[in-house]
Amino acid sequence: MTSLRLGVNIDHVATIRNARGAPYPDPLRAGMLAAKAGADGITAHLREDRRHISDDDIDKLARELKVPLNLEMAATEEMLAIALRHKPHAVCLVPEKREERTTEGGIDAAGQHNHLKPFVRRLSDAGIRVSMFVDPDARQIEASQSLGAPVVELCTGAYCEAVIAGDERAVAGHLDAARKSAAAAAWLGLEVHAGHGLTYDNVKPIAAIPEIRELNIGHFLVGEAIFVGLEAAIRRMRELMDEARQ
Ligand code: PXP
């Protein structure tokens, strides 16, 4: 089976920092430590309201990380200008609502085709690899391809919520959708990523989907780091991903 990369999302290191307005803990330090522990890339979401990652964080991450930076952002002119200034390895386009606690699902690549098209083109023209964060849904995957994005990231949020609720039927349904979507996306020539809500308990069935090339995981790892440290948390996640892949 192809190898599976781990992108570590460090947003919530900034959440802890911002809870007190202190200069620590530093997301760049977390990103560097994550890379040392085996992360293949670092993901950070610069939100319109700057609730966690700041402009200064993006500046430092873009300049100093030795592994690829995946910038998650909404498709707005402000974010586009920031991405074009820093030229991260990748940009993942996500939907954003001010009142949401976290990203609640995938972007409407099909319904917002005309709005998204120039963003995908301008980012791609700058040499940035564009990924569309979509629900595991054939229509959204086809729309992502027709937008010209080379990557789709399948949202695993609903699957993870079904695992927490102990709803086995829903879990099976979400996994089936993730498997079919990953196969359809790969067949269309798209690189497939997945993420949102993944933990030690729910990662394996997703990691076992052969077409998936990268998982992006953050909130759980930063929480687990409180107990075992960030490096150990990442190493354990890596082990589980590798076991699922065998
Ligand atoms: N992928 C995308 C597109 C996301 O928006 C997020 C959350 O910011 C993640 C992955 C990581 O999710 P989590 O923090 O729940 O692991």
- Give pLDDT tens digits for 110-158: 999 999 999 999 999 999 999 999 999 999 999 999 999 999 999 999 9
CA of 217 to the centre of ligand 1 (A): 6
Q: Report the pLDDT averaged over residues 169-194.
A: 98
What type of residue sits at position 84? L
Q: Is 196 a catalytic residue?
A: yes
Nearest ligand 1 atom to the CA of 12 is 14
CA of 51 to the centre of ligand 1 (A): 15
Q: Report the pLDDT averaged over residues 62-66.
A: 97
135: Cβ below 6 Å to ligand 1? no
If one compares 101 and 19, the residue with the highest pLDDT of the two is 19
Q: Report the pLDDT averaged over residues 44-52.
A: 95
DSSP 3-state percent helix, strand, coil across the chain (nearest 5): 50, 15, 35
156: Cβ below 6 Å to ligand 1? no
Catalytic hit among 72, 96, 153, 214 = 72
The reported pLDDT for the residue numbered 78 is 97
- Among 231, 234, 240, 216, smallest CA distance to 71 is for 216
Q: Give percent of the chain with pLDDT exceeding 70.
A: 99
- Does 238 have pLDDT greater than 90? yes
Q: Is 193 a catalytic residue?
A: no
The reported pLDDT for the residue numbered 3 is 86
The reported pLDDT for the residue numbered 97 is 75
In order of their start, the domains of the chain are: 5-245 (3.20.20.70)
* Angle subtended by helix axes 55-64 and 77-86, to nearest 10: 30
215: Cβ below 6 Å to ligand 1? no
Average pLDDT taken over every residue of the chain? 96
- Give pLDDT tens digits for 68-112: 999 999 999 999 999 999 999 999 999 987 667 777 789 999 999
Catalytic hit among 12, 45, 86, 193 = 45
For a mutational test of ligand 1's pocket, the pick from 79, 101, 103, 215, i.e. the residue with the most ligand atoms closer than 8 A to its C-beta, is 103
45: Cβ below 6 Å to ligand 1? yes
CA of 124 to the centre of ligand 1 (A): 22
Q: Residue 185 — very low, low, confident or very high, per pLDDT cuts 50/70/90?
A: very high
Name every residue whose Cβ is closer than 8 Å to that of residue 168 and which is 6 or more positions away in sequence: none
The reported pLDDT for the residue numbered 96 is 81
Catalytic hit among 12, 193, 196, 224 = 196
The reported pLDDT for the residue numbered 2 is 78
The reported pLDDT for the residue numbered 102 is 72
**Terminal CA-CA length for the chain:** 8
- In this prediction the pTM is 0.96
